[in-house]
Structure formats: C-alpha cells, structure tokens
Amino acid sequence: MQTAPAADLVVAKFNPLYRPYLLVSIGLTMLCTIIGAPIALIWFCGVGQWWSRHYFDLLQCTLDAKALRFRKGILFQVEKTIPLENIQDVTFIEGPVLKKFQLATLKFETAGHSMGQAHDMQLTGIIDAHEFRNKIIERRDALRHGAHAPSASAVAAGEDQTALMRAMLAKLDEIAVLLRERRG
C-alpha cells in the first residue's frame, strides 16, 4: 500500500499471486461442467493466462478521506465507489484456497444493503488486507465523528443567530412598551 500525503490517498497494491488464483479458480469452475470442460483446456493453455494477466494489470483500488473506489475488468469495466459513511462493516475472509495463494478477501456491508443488490463489494488479493481494512474503518469512524462534532463556523453561526434573536426580542419589547403607552 502506498500513501500519498498531499491528497491523503491510500492506493492498495494487489498481490501478484492473485493472477494464478484467478486462472486456477476459473479453470476449475469450468471443469465442473460438461460444456466447460473442453473450454477449460483452452483456458489453461493460454487464454486464461492472458486474461488473468490483463485483468490483474487493470485492478485499481483507492481510499481517500470520504470514499473507497475500486475498478476492475477488461471488456466490461466496473468502477464502484462506496462512501465511507455507508460502510457498516468490513469482513476479512481467508479460506484454505486463498491461504494457499497467500490471499484474503475483504467484503463490505453497506447501509441499505440487502440480498441481490449490486451494492455489495468484495476485494480479493490486496497486500496487507488487515492493515487496509483497519485504515478503512479508521477513516469511516473519523468521518462519522467529524460529522457529529460541530465545526467552528457552525458554532459562530449559531452565536450570531442567538445575538440576532436577542436583538429582535429587545425590539419587540420596545414596541410592546410603546403600544402600552399609547393605550394608556
């Protein structure tokens, strides 16, 4: 992971072992079907190697102060942006196959998420996934706490409004005194 201090941007690096993981996992999935078995031979002999290399080269994931952005795909590129305030939880997943490739998956649960929605996101292959997960949660918490704490300008604006209301109340009191004097 690299941190660019000027923009407070964290750029996630992906583990190069993610390429053979993609090749093997997709190829084995193809082998499990009757139609996919002959295609799996073509996949393992060259197409899968080409695809996994290019797919890996196009992966991007950045974390800034307000959002997490992820980009993937070759023919159909998908770019997802999740505002940090919407992230409810980040789950760290590491199974036996992922461990064999020294990989882990981060799964994001967002506010308003329900089964079948396209709002879920999984990132596999990030180097130092635990550290990246912690940075996401720290930034989310900082954003939430910052939103609840009033800023100096908001406090000053509130004080200005209070002073204005007191001045208006004083004027109303003067008008009430003048009206009483005219009646009496």
List pLDDT tens digits, range 92-118: 999 898 988 899 999 988 876 555 554
Which of 124, 127, 89, 120 lies closest to 106, judged by CA? 124
Whose tokens are 């308003």? That residue is: 112
Reported as type and span, the H/E element at residue 146 is helix 129-148
**Same domain (yes/no): 59, 143:** yes
For residue 172, pLDDT beyond 90: no
Which pTM value belongs to this model?
0.68
For residues 80-100, give the mean pLDDT.
90
For residue 20, pLDDT beyond 90: yes
**Same domain (yes/no): 55, 6:** yes
**Same domain (yes/no): 32, 120:** yes
Q: What single-letter amino acid sits at 161?
A: Q
Is 3:10 a contact under the CB 8 Å cutoff? yes
Residue 163's pLDDT band (boundaries 50, 70, 90)? confident
For residues 63-76, give the mean pLDDT.
92
**Same domain (yes/no): 92, 176:** no
| Burial (CB count within 10 angstroms: exposed 0-12, middle 13-18, buried 19+), residue 108 | buried
Question: What is the structure's pLDDT at 47?
Answer: 92
**Same domain (yes/no): 79, 23:** yes
Structural domain boundaries, residue 125: 2-148
**Same domain (yes/no): 132, 173:** no
**Same domain (yes/no): 183, 119:** no
Lookup: tokens for 5: 């201090």
For residues 16-36, give the mean pLDDT.
91
**Same domain (yes/no): 81, 155:** no
Which of 102, 99, 101, 104 lies closest to 123, judged by CA? 104
Question: What is the structure's pLDDT at 118?
Answer: 42
Judged by average pLDDT, the poorest of 22-26, 65-69, 160-164 is: 160-164
- CA–CA separation, 92 and 63 (whole Å): 17
Give the Cβ contact number of residue 82 at 10 Å. Answer: 20
**Same domain (yes/no): 23, 72:** yes
**Same domain (yes/no): 87, 172:** no
Question: What is the structure's pLDDT at 183?
Answer: 85
Count of domains in the chain? 2
Residue 5's pLDDT band (boundaries 50, 70, 90)? very low
Question: What is the structure's pLDDT at 128?
Answer: 92
For residues 158-175, give the mean pLDDT.
85
Lookup: tokens for 126: 């990030």
**Same domain (yes/no): 111, 178:** no
What string of H, E and C letters represents the secondary structure of 17-79?
Answer: CHHHHHHHHHHHHHHCCCCHHHHHHHHHHHHHHHHHHHHHHHCEEEECCCEEEEEECCCCCEE
**Same domain (yes/no): 83, 164:** no
Give the Cβ contact number of residue 104 at 10 Å. Answer: 22
Question: Which CATH number do you get for residue 68?
Answer: 2.30.29
